[in-house]
Structure formats: C-alpha cells, structure tokens
Structure 1
Amino acid sequence: MNLLRRIERHLDHHRIAQTRFGRDAAGDPRLVSDMRNGREPRCQLAQRVTAYMDGQDAGVHS
C-alpha cells in the first residue's frame, strides 16, 4: 500500500490532525502536507512512520 494512502487512512481511523501525526511520527508537523504535495520520504523515515502507525494500531486493537 502506498505510504501516503496508509497515513490518510490512519488519520481518519484515529481522528488525529495531520500536524499532530507528523510531529509524533517523525518530528515534522509538515510531513503529511509535504507528502500531499509530492514529497517522497527516504527509506529510514518511511520505516519510522510505518513503525509508529503499527504501534498505534497495536494499541487500539489490544
């Protein structure tokens, strides 16, 4: 799945603001906005964001 699409679904599911997500997941409140405008995160950042979402999802489902 495309990372931005997964982030969008995560934002909707958890009802959090894009700036909060970016700050918590990557230390960058503009992350989602920049990705919507074409930014492609490097592999290490993508892995960190994915791990953050996995952790959030695990907390919701446990």
Structure 2
Amino acid sequence: MKLLDRIENHLKEARISATRFGRRAVGDPRFVLDLRMGRRPRRRTLERVEKYLSRSPAMAPARGVLRQD
C-alpha cells in the first residue's frame, strides 16, 4: 500500500485532520497536503510516519512496509 493511501485510511479511521496528522507524525502541518501535491519524503520522514502509524490503534490491521511509489 502506498504511503499516501495509508495516511488517508488513517485519517478516516482516526477521524483526524490532515493538518493534525502531519503535526503529530512529523511536526509539519502541511505534510499531507504536500504529499497530495506530489511531495516525495525522505527516508527519515518515512520512518517517522511508520513509527507514528505503528503506534496508532486505528491502523493496527493495515501495518506493513511503506512504499512511496
């Protein structure tokens, strides 16, 4: 599953805004908007997002390796 798809699923499941997710996961309130517009995050950022999602009960069934493609 693509990174953005996982994040979008998380937003729905956790019922949080994209801004809140970005702020909590990577300290960047524009993170999700930028991804939607084509931003390609660095490996360290992907690791931070993975760590955030892995701690989230809302994403427990969808855990796995992130792909950026």
In the superposition, the TM-score normalised over structure 2's length comes to 0.80
Deviations 1:25-62 (A, max 9, x none): 0000000000000001011101111110110127x79x
Cα RMSD (Å): 1.7
**2:57: which partner in 1?**
57
Query: What fraction of aligned residue pairs are identical, expressed as a percent?
Result: 52
Equivalenced residue count is 60
- Runs in 1 of length 4+ with deviation above 6 angstroms? none
Q: Unpaired segments of 5 or more residues in structure 2?
A: 62-69
The structure where helix makes up a greater share of residues is 1
Structure 1 unaligned residues grouped into runs of 5+: none
Are 2:15 and 1:27 aligned?
Answer: no
Secondary structure class of the residue paired with 2:19: helix
Which structure would you say has the larger RCO, counting Cα contacts within 8 Å and 6 or more residues apart? 2
